[in-house]
Amino acid sequence: MRSIVVTGCAGFIGSHLSEKLLQLGYKVIGIDNFDPFYPKKTKEENLSGFIHNSSFTFHELDLRIDSSLDCIEDHIDLVVHLAGKAGVRPSIEDPQGYIDSNISATRNVLDFMRKKGIKKFAFASSSSIYGNNKEVPFSETHNVDRAISPYAFSKKSCEVLNHSYHHLYDLDIINMRFFTVFGPRQRPDLAIHKFLKLMQNDQEIPMFGDGTMARDYTYVSDTVEGVVKSCKYLFEHENVFETINLGNSYPILLSEMIDIIAKKAKCEPQINHLPMQAGDVDQTYADISRAKALIGYNPKVKFEEGIERFVAWFNNK
């Protein structure tokens, strides 16, 4: 039985990924520090479906601390590194926190792998690193030197850091650039979750800009499938350093997103028009041809179907 470490296992994507890996017969070693960005109770609920699985082991660790991982003595075949601080706007208020939680923590994970002789690494990067790239869809070959938020530069820095460890220590690495993942357990600060809650409470929705800002929303099961396929690729190949987009390749306008949530939730949205926020990109739009060719990535869930599933989960949680 192969063993996979999932950092950030109590988070939105990490909990879905851990469940999927356990279903596929992997042993999962989960790591989380219960960062107070949102309530610990929410993360404990995320873990509740698999915390007692005999193939799952949990460690509450802070990856920002040097050698924090040294207490793990299990055999490990691969690390999926999802942990880190997320969010563009909070990163503007706390850039050092993002340097510590994203860049320094990633270095600590890589050093742990180097010391333990673990060769396979799947890293959660972000579409934010493309900035306001005018050329769409975003391709992995595009220049990403013009980050417009500390969150974005922290993720770009990690990709560069990963390459240095690939070069120096022969680590096999895939950087997976996630594009606005949504679905059950989505973080409460993210737009879809927040907007639905506001609508159902008959409160105003803050709409930044004129509604033409667009995001390439990707349903969580499709993102998880992309991560699983990345792991399989790493297990089957040597001398790997790849970067792939895990998006849906179908951007949705902000105004359209609000309308679809309102339709599925049977609510009437009240809009509070606000200026664009610093650090926000105008649009994200993934070219997924490389992920399709490399790992067989093929997102299946359309946006409206995903919102319908999210509303059903939200109303029953």
Q: Residues with catalytic annotation? A: 151
The percent of the chain in helix, strand and coil, each rounded to the nearest 5, is 45, 20, 40
Nearest to 21 by CA among 231, 258, 297: 231
DSSP class of residue 51 equals T
Amino acid at 232: K
CA distance 88 to 93: 9
The encoded tokens of residue 133 equal 């790239």
List the beta strands (DSSP E) in the chain. Answer: 3-7, 27-32, 56-60, 78-81, 120-126, 172-178, 181-182, 204-208, 214-215, 218-219, 241-246, 252-253, 270-274
> Strands of 241-246's sheet, edge to edge?
56-60, 27-32, 3-7, 78-81, 120-126, 172-178, 241-246
Amino acid at 77: D
> Maximum Cα–Cα distance for the chain, whole Å?
56
